[in-house]
Chain A
Amino acid sequence: MASVQWRSRGRNYEAELQRCHHEAVPVEFGDYHPLKPIMVTDTKTRRGTRKGSTSSSSSSSSSAPADPLSSMLDGTDPLSMFAAASSGETSAMSHSSSTGDLGRKKRIKEEEVLGADFEPWSTKRGEILARFTTTEKLSINLFMGSDKAPNPGSSAVSEKVRTRLEELDDLEEGSQRQLLNLSQQDYANRIEELNQSLKEAWSTDQKVKALKIVIQCSKLLSDTSVIQFYPSKFVLITDILDTFGRLVYERIWTMCSDPRPLPDSFTAEDVNDTAKETCLNWFFKIASIRELLPRLYVETAILKCNNFLSKLGVQETLPRLTAMIRGIGDPLVASYARAYLCRVGMEVAPHLKESLNANFFDLLTTFRQISGDSVQKQLHIQRVEVPVYLTLYSPAINWILQCIAYRAPEQLLTEMMERCKMMANNALLLNSIMRAFRPEFVATRATDFISMIKDCDESGFPKHLLYRSLGRSLACADPPESERLTILNDAWKVITKVRNPQDYMNCAEIWVEFTCRHFTKREVNTVLADIIKHMTPDRAFEDAYPQLQSVIRKILTYFHDFSALFSMERFLPFLDMFQKDSVRVEVCKFIMEVFIKHQLELTRDPVILNAMLHICKTMHDSVNSLTLEDEKRSLALLIIGFVRMVSFGRDFEQQLSFCVEARATFCNLEPVLVQLIHTVNQLAMETRRVMRGNHSRKTAAFVRACAAYCFISIPSLSSIFSRLNLYLLSGQVALANQCLSQADAFLKAAVSILPEVPRSISVEGKLRSSENFLLDFINNFLATLLVVPDHPEHGVLYLVRGLLNMVQDYTWEENSDAKVRVYISALPLLAAMCQETYLYSIPKVDSNETLYGGDPKFLSEINKLCETLIGQILDHLKVLTRDESVRRQSALAFSLFGVLLAHGDLRNNKLSQLSINLWNLSHKHGYCEARVSVRTLEYIKHQAQQPDMAHLSDTIQRLVLQSRT
């Protein structure tokens, strides 16, 4: 095949368009669209079924929001809907009482099972462990077996036969183990070991050993030597007791389930005799434990097993155990024993409230012991201050009160409060009441509480803790409107006097919420000022970052008006207290998240802009070489969110200058720069829209400035494809705005960096070939080139040639057809350039069609170029003759055939011959898909019927469809 002659087919785009259109039916946009939110018109039914149990009908706001995705996030997402439905169900259950058998059953269930609104022990557990710690050395005394050593009482009978706990004694481990000098962590580990060995002993059927472990552990609770640690010790050891209780219960349960498992609501009659006997045995064994505390705790642990023996078992045992606690001399030990009893009591029989009350009243009676000699002496020896000692009580008392207050009538709570008022040293109780009772209850009596707090003895329980508890209640429930300001004033008067910064901060943190909830920015500002004043001396804020962060969080929950927020004088100085970088960035990120979520309108408010710029700059400046990619990405996203919210309306110049400033500020985060370039391009287009395409001198200068901005910014990006795409985009924008030389420069720049494109790039962490990206880009670029007028100083088709040269020189992957593909796709462009009227054009920009006006020289130039390209393609096709590459050859030949058919003038014999050759080549090895070939032939037949296209019928005669035999 010698030289090829190229003739472009003349196209009448309009006529072609008409031909295509005459069949087209306008698409009816029906009402139905799958992405449209479901419209609920009948909202009445929903309210009606609220109380019922099954209503989960999909509901959504009836106003149709513009964006279907955002409307999904508006709380109609199916998961949260289910959650809401199920919670509604439970609450409905508690209300739907009385009538019907079903209702009754449900009510019974309700009584036995604690509702979800009861704060479970497990949440308190961690809190206590974290709060009550010690650095002192601890010891564990375990007398395995010979538990008679310290037994003054038994000396009454000098010679005695040791029959007591006989079974226990003859086991191994008769030795006394004493572990001294344990750190707190060691202690916890030891206890956990014991827990493990308990389970192990149980599973290996050493029930007696298990019991022994439990007894020894509960004995540890009578030791108050490191008293600050006592609450934590209680938590650790009751874990073991819980394990034990569960094991025993499960064991007896499985004994009963021999023929068939017991129903959930079984009675004692359902239990068989062996199980009953085993259960009784446990109780007898426990009843013979010598010491009071282990006997009490272990019996409490297996309280639930009473259900196996009789219906009233638990009801009778609870008061007895309650009375038994009176025998414990140490008030702290006793109150924790009460807490444990209440806890197990609540789990096993939540409806038995009497013993809870009895426990509480006993507790009140024993309160005077705290000031008694024994306790005072002990405190003196351990060098523990009274206020510290008193706080040790709070977890236990809080828990007891919480149990009492749970679904208790208002009247009972009032009575409890009155009783506490009468007690001396009532600060501790007061604190517990405020913590345990319903926040609404406390809130309505807030003024009472404040006066009670005022009356409290200063030397005892620290007052700031009282205010803290009060604040906690007020944060979730509202006191009467008229009292709010007085409450805040009274409380803050005391809080501001707290000396210790840590105490102060703990308190202030809680009251900030109350302030934010009910007052304006003025009051919040005052509070912030006070916090700054307290925390600045000696850099106290360094130890209080979590609390300070929580202050910010609370403020942002209530204040979404950012201009009001930033106009608070003390807000930014408050932010300045976060001086540790990581915390600072975290706070900034949080503020930004809230901003993006709640700032719905574009803004130009200088207060917001300044503050936000400052915050974003802080985030940006935290980026260094060690910052993780993900972190960078999230920071960039937040900053982009801010950039997108900024709009100066018609004041385009200021917007541009903002972008300039932002570019300088955020130069290290590429995504932000990309966004800025987009913003500026958008700005230019917006200007064009405003001027309706006719730029004045001023606006023309402005759009050129925009182009300049982009031109300067793009090279600083490191991602080659961002650069390429932005060059192209900016070039298009410049062209649209009639900035020809700028557009030229952009496109030239894009062409000039093409050789820099690496052969592979990393996409989402994986190395992938860049070829497809590059091909996409080049196709896009070629499409743009149609409308770009030639530069007067450079030759014809300067940019197209430049691009093709770059493609020629680019080091493509070996064995790749990419280069040829580019050539093939360049042909349609060149063909399009030959037309008299171009397919598309830009208003007010003269493309080559006008510049050259169909000059034959220009056309022959194009034809020459096409011929070269086809020559190159054919050369390449010749190389692809080896077995493994014939498939590629066939595909390329077919696509070239397609191009010739669509764009070449096949009246030309040579061209027509070439196309037939290509057809044959592509079908030579049978790799061509028959269906495509058939469709192509049909298309040609169809085309041949058009006027001027009759020559195609000749061609078609010569195209042989290979039969698949």
Chain B
Amino acid sequence: MWWITETVAGVITLSCKEAMQHHGISLSMEGIVNLQLSSKSVGVFEAFYNSVKPIQLISNNIEVAKAGKIPGGKTEIPFEFPLNTKGNKVLYETYHGVFVNIQYTLRCDLKRSLLAKDLSRNCEFMVHCQPQKAKVVPTPVKFSITPESLQNTREKSLLPRFLIRGHLDATSCVISQPLTGEVVVEKSEVPVKSIELQLVRVETCGCAEGYARDATEIQNIQIAEGDVCHGLPIPIYMVFPRLFTCPTLETTNFKVEFEINIVIVLHDDHLITENFPLKLCRV
């Protein structure tokens, strides 16, 4: 795992039974953003689909060893790459999403004579972006859910009466720290079946021609099960999964954002959802 502006360093380890002739060993580093469209959007943006090309962030190539011979046994060749961009390009943090993938790889090639195949190895390495200098001041967000506060319901009068209050300690969160808060079921006519926290990512791919925005679930965590005691605060706590989250990202070509849903399921299978957009960052 490397921070941006650091130097990627390591060793190439070659092991062979006996001495081997080769035509040079080279090592290349590459950073790419892959954009993909969801099947939902394919019909509309078919023409556009094809035009989405991977965006190259960084590319470096060095020759590690000239053509020659390596002795039998284990050989270790150290190497170093600076993690710096050329020009005005920006490096992003490693991220594996559904429609957006930011990936950094090292590729080592060993060229051999015509008769033998060239050898190559791929290896992914993680990149974390530079922590923000600015301090994040947590601002608690309170919420209160009642039948009246709900949107997109047809007949509010048919809903059972309930009052659920609570707060999130912050909506701009530090990625390495858990999301915290509290939720209190003050009253509910129908017993609660389950309360869940749903972490959703919203990926937007697009450019001048238009854009595709897709929300997908990353992680769903149950924080309450069954008819919980009324009036007793239940903690909200979620660790952001590594790899599947990254600091909120906004570029000209694509966006990666995160949201949290508090989902309350009642015993008659009513589903109440409260949505909070999150801003993730690194400190």
Contacts and interface: CB of A to CB of B under 8 A. Distances in A.
Given A284-B241, A373-B191, A290 B221 contact: yes
B207 interface: no
Given A284-B241, A284-B242, A288-B221, A156 B263 contact: yes
Contact of B239 (A157, A284, A373): A284
Given A152-B269, A154-B220, A329 B233 contact: no
Contact of B224 (A156, A164, A292): A292
Contacts of B229: 326, 329, 331, 365-366, 368-369
Contacts of A324: 223, 235, 237
A330 interface: yes
A161 B219 CA distance: 10
B183 to A, nearest CB: 9
Contacts of A154: 198, 217, 220
A61 to B, nearest CB: 62
Interface in B225-283: 225-229, 232-235, 237-239, 241-242, 244, 261, 263, 265, 269, 271, 273
B218 interface: yes
A153 B221 CA distance: 10
Interface residues of A, number: 40
B215 interface: yes
B239 A326 contact: no
B127 interface: no
Interface string A160-186: 110110000000000000000000000
Interface string B78-115: 00000000000000000000100000000000000000
Interface string A433-455: 00000000000000000000000
Contacts of A329: 191-192, 224-229
A222 B217 CA distance: 25
Contacts of A155: 271
B98 A292 contact: no
B271 A293 contact: no
A161 B216 contact: yes
A365 B230 CA distance: 10
A163 B227 CA distance: 29
B200 interface: yes
A327 B224 contact: yes
Contacts of B234: 323, 326-327
A649 interface: no
B48 to A, nearest CB: 21
The binding surface of chain B is classed by DSSP as strand
A374 B226 contact: yes
Nearest to A287: B239
B193 interface: yes
A34 interface: no
Interface in A464-502: none
B172 interface: no
B194 A152 contact: yes
What's the interface size class on B, roughly?
A: 35 or more
Contact of B225 (A160, A222, A323): A222
B195 interface: yes
Contacts of A163: 217-219, 244
A419 interface: no
B239 A164 contact: no
Contact of B216 (A153, A160, A295, A330): A160
B226 A153 contact: no
A372 interface: yes
Given A156-B261, A157-B215, A330-B226, A164 B237 contact: no
A156 B269 CA distance: 12
B196 interface: yes
A164 B218 CA distance: 7
Contacts of B130: none
B64 to A, nearest CB: 27
A333 B196 CA distance: 19
Contacts of B227: 329-330, 369, 372, 374
A423 B262 CA distance: 33
Interface in A362-408: 362, 365-366, 368-369, 372-374
B223 to A, nearest CB: 5
Contacts of A369: 227, 229
Contact of B217 (A157, A283, A288): A157
A152 B265 contact: yes
A574 B142 CA distance: 71
A292 B191 contact: no
B220 A153 contact: yes
B222 A153 contact: yes
Given A329-B225, A329-B226, A369-B227, 17 more contacts: A152-B271, A153-B220, A153-B265, A155-B271, A156-B263, A159-B216, A222-B225, A288-B219, A288-B221, A293-B225, A323-B233, A326-B232, A362-B232, A365-B229, A366-B229, A373-B191, A374-B191
The 4 closest A-B pairs by CB, nearest first: A329-B226, A327-B224, A287-B239, A153-B196
